[in-house]
Amino acid sequence: MTSVSCNATLNCAMREWERLNLEIVECEKCPRLVAYRRQVAQIKKREFRNWDYWGKPITGFGDLGARVIIVGLAPAAHGGNRTGRIFTGDSSAQTLMQALHSVGLASQPFSLHRDDGLQLFGVYISAVCRCVPPKNKPTPNEIRNCLPYLVSELELLSEAKVIVALGQIAFNGSLTALQILAEKLNADWHTLKPRPKFSHGAHFELPDPRGGTLHLLASYHPSRQNTQTGRLTVEMLVEVLSTAKMLAFSG
């Protein structure tokens, strides 16, 4: 391939990312979520009263040549919904970044705001729901409305070999997104039978709708509810991410 055609391909991919991210940020498909994210941005939290909240849907973040995709649930009310970046500015973000930094996949062990200098190495972070949902519980229809964005990211992240799903909703959403992508690509795709079930540390090898094999790993979500009760520790998350790194970059 000539350098001219390579540059053309790169420019085309960047335009696709720009188009997708603009579509995400402007999305108003779910009236309940639109109203709630705006309400949170107006009322704010006392400690962040001087912040200009983002209050819009959240795009993915990270390395566009990623070999590992991390899928979460949704932006936190006073985290991503405030800062405008997924897994940024809340306790879940700090747990995840501490673990990613420990295995050499993040430049620093914290994620505070969009201009904090954070870089991800071979990792892209996304979510099944792009707006903060009340009580962190999006409805099935809200998830269906949002999943096409994850499907588009999976298609664009052509180098990805591993998906790490944080929590059961992210796990099930990732499987559904792969099914939708397979239908979009007219790929002969099927999940394992019986259908993979979420459990912390689970590892499934799936046919990649884009060709080859894709690894799906599961972890408890690094929410405060899980970390404060000891259901999930940084060490447990590091173990999952270490496996993801090994699978993504070996061979």
pTM (predicted TM-score): 0.94
Please, what is the average pLDDT of the chain?
95
Specify the pLDDT at position 7: 65
Specify the pLDDT at position 194: 86
Specify the pLDDT at position 85: 98
Determine the longest span between alpha carbons in the chain, in angstroms. 56
Please state the domain count of the chain. Answer: 1
Specify the pLDDT at position 13: 86
Q: How far apart are CA 125 and CA 157, in angstroms?
A: 11
Specify the pLDDT at position 251: 62
Q: How far apart are CA 189 and CA 192, in angstroms?
A: 10
pLDDT at 170 over 80: yes
Please, are residues 64 and 20 in contact by the beta-carbon 8 Å criterion?
Answer: no
Strand 213-219 to 203-207 pairing: antiparallel
Q: What average pLDDT does range 183-191 have in this prediction? A: 87
**Confidence label for 11 from pLDDT (cuts 50, 70 and 90):** confident
Specify the pLDDT at position 244: 98
pLDDT in tens, 122-145: 999 999 999 999 999 999 999 999
- CATH number of the domain within which 62 lies: 3.40.470.10
In angstroms, the Cα distances linking 129 to 126, 139, 240 are 9, 10, 22
Count other C-beta atoms under 10 Å from residue 103's C-beta: 19
Strand 123-127 to 61-62 pairing: antiparallel
Specify the pLDDT at position 203: 98
* Structural domain range at position 40: 3-249
pLDDT in tens, 36-56: 999 999 999 999 999 999 999
The alpha carbon of 18 is separated from its chain's Cα centroid by a whole number of angstroms, namely 17
Residue with more model confidence, 4 or 220:
220
